[in-house]
Amino acid sequence: MFDFDGRLDALRRKDEDAFREIYDQTKRGVYAVIVAIVRDRGIAEDLMQETYMKMLSHLDAYEPGRNFNAWLVQIAKNLALDHYRKEHKTVPVDPQDNAYVFDRVELVERSEYDLETLIAPLDTEERQIVLLHVVSDTKFKDIAHILGKPLGTVLWLYNRAIRKMQSHVGKERP
């Protein structure tokens, strides 16, 4: 398990290596939640940068001993939702442009479909849950905290999303 609190102390001392380590540990989850909301690679990259800048400027607001990853993903989610509300639109994501982000997703590797095709039938909340769980290995308990929903609701939404994806893929087969 990565020691966020220890690395955050180094980060407060402006240690660039600490920032890189924290970034490497959190970038998948941050990207997953942002792209699930805005569905645009360029905007997601801008919002990722904004997320980490906000994290650095609000580091004193983080309470040591809490779940740092959940705290950071919540910042990303809020920024993405704010952007979405301002724009009132979404732009489709080209799955080929985002293939490098999802290279660890076993669901895609075991499938003839790309991730965007698999998650196409999902609503924003279902996308967030699936991407957080599958892409960044976030535990359901932490996803529930990030989304502000009961654990049972998150599990139910995840299972519903899986059924939707299976149904969607089944309809596309020749």
Domain residue spans of the chain: 4-172
First to last CA, the chain: 44
Report pTM.
0.62
Q: What is the pLDDT of residue 39?
A: 80
Query: Residue 88, class by beta-carbon neighbours within 10 Å (0-12 exposed, 13-18 middle, 19+ buried)?
Result: exposed
**What are the 10-residue block averages of pLDDT along the chain, 174 residues in total?**
82 90 91 86 92 93 87 91 72 45 40 70 88 81 86 90 84 55
Q: What is the pLDDT of residue 21?
A: 93
What whole-number distance in Å separates Cα of residue 128 and Cα of residue 147? Answer: 9
Q: What is the pLDDT of residue 102?
A: 42
Unique residue bearing structure tokens 């407060």: 12
Q: What is the pLDDT of residue 113?
A: 62
Q: What is the pLDDT of residue 174?
A: 46
What whole-number distance in Å separates Cα of residue 32 and Cα of residue 34? Answer: 6
What whole-number distance in Å separates Cα of residue 100 and Cα of residue 114? Answer: 12
Q: What is the pLDDT of residue 72?
A: 92
Short-list 157, 138, 156, 155, CA closest to 146:
138
